[in-house]
């Protein structure tokens, strides 16, 4: 089921999301939410999607399989944290399903290490220096109530002709 995407202005997009508690959380409801988030991401041509963008203030985000580390399967990160493994940053254009038609240039760390839990609550750790590094930083910003527009330079509104 496709979820409704929350767009600006909305206070949910500016809140810190709560950690997923695997003891208290209903596993099938969590799996259903993840499934729906993935469907919603693809329906809007997104490469990543965070639960607060569906109005669910949980530390959970998903990534399109083309950009995930094995390229085979969508990547799901629960309660994720990242740290930089390089001083180097690069700049690239970003957009966001929650800020429709806006694009801007954002500086992000090139190489990061990510620690999270998977869909079963098992620890997951990896590093990345591909485009995934950028998307992970963008989506984890969502979990901390930060939008790319707060970091972007040369923000432009591009409307459809
Ligand atoms: Zn976004």
| pLDDT tens profile 72-106 | 999 999 999 999 999 999 999 999 999 999 999 99
The rounded Å distance from CA 44 to ligand 1 centre is 12
Confidence of residue 111 (pLDDT cuts 50, 70, 90): very high
CB 61 within 8 A of CB 75: no
Neighbours of 111 (CB within 10 A): 15
The rounded Å distance from CA 96 to ligand 1 centre is 4
Is 150 annotated in the active site? Answer: no
| pLDDT tens profile 43-73 | 999 999 999 999 999 999 999 999 997 789 9
Q: Which residues, by Cβ under 5 Å, contact ligand 1, an ion? A: 96
Percent of the chain clearing pLDDT 70 (strictly above) = 100
- Give me the pLDDT at residue 69, please: 78
The rounded Å distance from CA 11 to ligand 1 centre is 14
What are the residues whose beta carbons fall under 8 Å from the beta carbon of 35, sequence distance 6 or more?
none
Neighbours of 1 (CB within 10 A): 7
Query: Would the pLDDT of 19 be above 80?
Result: yes
What mean pLDDT value characterizes the chain? 96
The pTM score is 0.96
Write the Ramachandran bin of 74: left for phi over 0, alpha for psi from -120 to 50, otherwise beta. beta
């Amino acid at each position: 089921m496709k979820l409704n995407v929350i767009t600006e202005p909305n206070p949910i997009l500016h809140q810190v999301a709560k950690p997923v508690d695997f003891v208290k959380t209903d596993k099938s409801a969590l799996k259903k939410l993840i499934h729906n988030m993935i469907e919603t991401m693809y329906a809007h041509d997104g490469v990543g999607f965070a639960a607060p963008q569906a109005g669910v203030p949980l530390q959970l985000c998903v990534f399109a399989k083309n950009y995930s580390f094995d390229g085979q399967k969508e990547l799901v990160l629960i309660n994720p944290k990242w740290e930089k493994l390089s001083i180097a940053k690069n700049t690239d254009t970003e957009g966001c399903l929650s800020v429709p038609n806006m694009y801007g240039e954002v500086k992000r760390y090139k190489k990061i290490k990510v620690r999270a839990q998977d869909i079963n609550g098992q620890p997951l750790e990896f590093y990345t220096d591909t485009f995934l590094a950028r998307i992970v930083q963008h989506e984890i910003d969502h979990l901390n109530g930060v939008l790319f527009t707060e970091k972007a330079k040369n923000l432009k509104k591009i409307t459809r002709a």
